[in-house]
Amino acid sequence: MTELRLHGLSYGSRLRSADLTVRAGETVGLIGPNGSGKTTLLRCVYGTLTATAGRATLDGDDLHALGPKARARRVATVPQDSGTEFELTVRELVALGRSPHKRFWEGDTGADRDRVEAALARVGLAELADRPFPTLSGGERQRALVARALVQDPALLVLDEPTNHLDIRHQLDVLALVRTLGTTNLLALHDLNLAGAYCDRLYVMVEGRVVTGGTPAEVLTPALLTAVYGVDAEVIPHPRTGSPTVVYLHSPVGGHKLSTM
Amino acid sequence: MSTVLDRAGKPKEKSTPASGTSRYVLVVAGLALALALAGIASLALGSVRIPPGQVLDALTGRAAPSPYRTIVLDVRLPRVLLGVVVGAGLAVVGAVLQALVNNRLADPFLLGISSGASAGAVLVLVLGVGGGVTTTIALPGGAFAGALLALVLVYGLARRGGTMTGVRLVLAGVAVSYVLSALATLLLVVAGRPEQFQEALYWSLGGLGSARWDTLALPAAVLVLGVGALLTLARPLDLLLVGEEGATVLGLDTARFRAAVFVLASLVTAVMVAASGAVGFIGLMAPHAARLAVGAPHRRLLPVAALGGALGLVLADLAARTVAAPQDIPVGVLTALIGGPFFLWLMRRRPEGAPL
């Protein structure tokens, strides 16, 4: 089991001295308004940005010092989908997830192919395995990228808005799936109710800083929602699961149309 | 609960990897056969027409010494083989460049690498470095330096803030290409070598007319080694297909890998250009056709692109020698006549959402 710790992790003015811990096996959510630095923090963890100060350690190993390949064996992510120019099939795309475990000249073995098929089945894409990746819908692409992260066999899963583009059923499925993997998970989430339902703990980011953290019940309070997001909301226990559930009050003056879910 | 959570979900029967493999074998065998036929046709046809039977006799060493035998073995065969080598080399470099810049409009000619190589070769020619035997090394050496310089320039100019659009890439390639061609011409004028204009023109147009047995060895060796090396890099090349960020999170040190492959691609391009001048668009068309036939993963793509490029250039050169015989049209003129419209077609039918 793997523990992630951030010590004063910074990236220019976009991320200011973030401290945060994801304990072994935990699923931790990162919430906060757009532009609050969630994506920057995650990128510094999975390595496409190099922090300007501070450290991110995985079981004590500095993630930056590990180098891309060793890091990719332990940390997987689902990058925000960037359209690709070339038509890999879904199966080919998912198979790329085995790369960190291979020498660069090695091909895939039968065991690798079995893993790929299992991951495709697990995200419900077995039927579409031979389709060109660019022809999938946004939600299907997201699930294919999750399957790729699965075959990477990581200890830490870092996900930036994994529910983007997904309809509600697949949102719930992906988050439930993440929780069953046995990995340590750090996710940025927009949807506060999903964050409250699927995360063990939440951290809140505002203007590049991690301002508070705790269990969903501790973090998701009307006072915090007003302070951080500038909205009026009630937080009530979910009638069946008891997880804290945010119910927004439509602002009578502001032009924003807020969802009541 | 749902398919996603169904942990027992068995993998569906593997979707016909067998039929995929046999299709691949079929494509490779078909291309190899077509290449052999095109080669024999090239040996038989031209300003002097030689019966296929005599061509085969010459090839198998059964022919008595005769003018036909000399034409087949000493004139046409090296030319056909150079076409095979250069066509294969340019196609593989094109496929690799397309992965490196994640854009299917890339080609050693369009990115200015070929012009860089010919400028470097002209520089060596004007300075008279080496001379005699060392020209076979000095010329490709100069071409290599020019090619690498051009590629680094174009890449640097096209890239801004981590993004690189096709438009920017092609514009940078064209601009760098013009500057380097002009520089080469200027060099010839300043050096007072107008008599070498002919040779310089030949490099800028591209042609296989200078093929001889003794100039064939270096390109052939570089092709085998370069393509061999690139084949071992099939996996990291595949990683580049999912973009910079995707490749990084899958463990590729993209900056280092790009630099290494740039050097390799420049080397192969330079040696091909030193042997044949700047033949354009083979590196654009062959990889595209190969992707349609066998898909994008490089382990399968590169051999098919190589065969396709070889076939394309051998056929183009056959046309160049026969269409206006006894005139020998520079083959680069023909590939540009076909490749230019192909480029425009490719540009127009881009997949939705792909950045131009």
Q: What is the pLDDT of residues B292-351, one digit of tens each?
A: 999 999 999 999 999 999 999 999 999 998 888 777 888 888 888 888 888 888 877 765
Domain count, chain A: 1
**CA A57, CA A3: separation in Å to the nearest integer?**
8
Of residues B102 and B200, more confidently modeled:
B102
Domain extent, residue A187, equals: 4-248
CA angle A84, A85, A88 (to 5 degrees): 70
First to last CA, chain B: 43
Burial (0-12, 13-18, 19+ Cβ within 10 Å), B15:
middle
Q: Which residues of chain A have pLDDT under 50?
A: 258-261
A255 within a domain of the structure (yes/no): no
Give the position of tokens 């200015």: B112
ipTM of the complex: 0.86
Helix (H, G, I), strand (E, B) or coil at B160: strand
Distances, alpha carbon A228 to alpha carbons A36, A113, A204, A225, in Å: 10, 46, 8, 5
pLDDT for the residue B212: 85
Q: What angle do CA B163, B170, B102 make, to 5 degrees?
A: 45
Query: Whole-structure pTM over 0.90, yes or no?
Result: no
A260 inside domain: no
DSSP A251: P
B353 neighbors B338 (Cβ within 8 angstroms):
no
Tabulate helix, strand, coil % of chain A (nearest 5). Answer: 35, 25, 35
With CB atoms and an 8 Å threshold, state whether A68 touches B253.
Answer: yes
- Judge whether B20 lies within some domain: no
Question: Residue A60, Cβ neighbours under 10 Å: how many?
Answer: 7
Q: Which domain holds residue B246?
A: 78-347
Cβ of B12 and A126 within 8 Å? yes
B249 with A143: Cβ contact below 8 A: no
Q: Which of residues 164-223 of A touch B (CB under 8 A)?
A: 169-170, 173-174, 176-177, 180
CATH number at residue A51: 3.40.50.300
Is residue B203 within 8 A of residue B121, CB to CB? The reply is yes
Looking at residue B355, its pLDDT comes to 46
DSSP A54: E
Higher pLDDT, A213 or B188: A213
Residue B338, domain CATH: 1.10.3470.10
Q: What average pLDDT does range B45-73 have in this prediction?
A: 84
Q: Does residue A204 sit within a domain?
A: yes
Rounded CA-CA distance B83/B91 in Å is 12
Nearest to B251 among A85, A99, A174 (CB): A99
Candidates B235, B244, B253, B294, partner chain A, best to mutate (most A CBs within 10 A): B235
CA–CA dist A258, A233 (Å, integer): 10
Domain-embedded: residue A197: yes
* Residue A261, domain member (yes or no): no
B18 pLDDT higher than 60 = no
Interface subset of A 240-259, CB within 8 angstroms of B: none
**Cα–Cα distance for residue pair B241/A86, rounded to 1 Å:** 6
CB contact A141 to B (< 8 Å): no
Asked if B223 and B82 count as a contact pair (C-beta separation under 8 A), the reply is: no
Q: Are B84 and B310 in contact (CB under 8 A)?
A: yes
* More confident position, B307 or B254: B307
Q: Are A94 and A148 in contact (CB under 8 A)?
A: yes
More confident site: B12 or B113? B113
At B201-228, the pLDDT tens digits run: 777 788 888 888 888 989 999 999 999 9
- Look at residue B343 in the predicted model and tell me its pLDDT: 84
A256 within some domain: no
What is the per-residue pLDDT for B294? 92
Residue among B236, B296, B353 whose CB faces A104 most closely:
B236
Contact B332, B279 (CB under 8 A): yes
Mutation target for A interface from B232, B240, B242: give the one with most A CBs within 10 A. Answer: B242
Average pLDDT of the residues of chain B: 83
User: Is residue A259 a part of any domain in this protein?
Assistant: no
Residue A76 lies in a domain: yes
Q: Within a domain: residue B297? A: yes
Cβ atoms of A8 and A18 within 8 Å: the answer is yes
